[in-house]
């Protein structure tokens, strides 16, 4: 079931991946391996798709943290803005997560909602097993309507 949710501002800390589309299948798992090898004490892992331009993607592979958490060497802190999202729960293989995002984008198009490239994927665990993920696609803010 796809639903619209409002998420509060969050802080994520992790490894920034900047790569072309064809490099992502190697770069993202390598970033996860590096993150899981770092003793952060984190338990809530996520991937944030920040932007894409001309086939060049910016992703953060990381974990949720308190705003004042110290950033480990080699990592980046990202403030995820309070925003409205389309959400879908994915239960299954990791490679099929892309299908979940495709469903979210298709739903936005049919419903007349303006989606963005900003995505959140919660549910990663060390070893990257298949399982439950919460997929989110950010929606553009609706224009103000004057009465």
Which residues lie across from 14 on neighbouring strands? 62, 76
Q: Do 108 and 3 touch, CB atoms closer than 8 A?
A: no
CA angle 37, 73, 25 (to 5 degrees): 50
| pLDDT at residue 106 in the model | 97
| Residue extents of the structural domains in the chain | 3-139
**Strand extents, DSSP E, 2-130:** 3-7, 10-20, 45-53, 56-65, 76-80, 83-92, 115-124
Dihedral angle computed from the Cα positions of residues 140, 121, 17 and 33, in that order, rounded to the nearest 10 degrees: 170
* pLDDT digit string (tens) for the chain, length 147 residues: 999 999 999 999 999 999 998 999 999 999 999 999 998 888 899 999 999 988 899 999 999 999 999 999 999 999 999 999 999 999 999 999 999 999 999 999 999 999 999 999 999 999 999 999 999 999 998 766 666
The CA distance from 7 to 119, in Å, is: 12
Q: Do 80 and 120 touch, CB atoms closer than 8 A?
A: yes
3-139 in CATH: which number? Answer: 3.20.80.10
Cα dist. 14→7, 19, 31, 117 in Å?
A: 20, 16, 9, 19
The CA distance from 101 to 145, in Å, is: 30
């Amino acid at each position: 079931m796809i639903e619209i949710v409002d998420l509060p501002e969050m802080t994520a800390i992790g490894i920034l991946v900047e790569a072309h589309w064809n490099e992502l299948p190697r770069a993202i798992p390598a970033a996860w391996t590096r993150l899981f090898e770092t003793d952060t004490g984190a338990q809530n892992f996520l991937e944030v798709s920040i932007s894409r331009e001309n086939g060049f993607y910016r992703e953060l592979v990381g974990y949720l943290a308190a705003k004042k958490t110290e950033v480990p060497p080699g990592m980046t802190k990202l403030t995820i803005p309070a925003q409205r999202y389309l959400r879908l729960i994915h239960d299954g293989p990791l490679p099929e997560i892309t299908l979940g995002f495709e469903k979210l984008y298709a739903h936005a198009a049919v419903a007349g909602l303006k989606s963005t490239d900003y995505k959140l994927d919660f549910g990663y665990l060390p070893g990257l097993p298949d399982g439950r993920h919460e997929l989110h696609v950010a929606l553009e803010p609706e224009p103000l309507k004057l009465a």
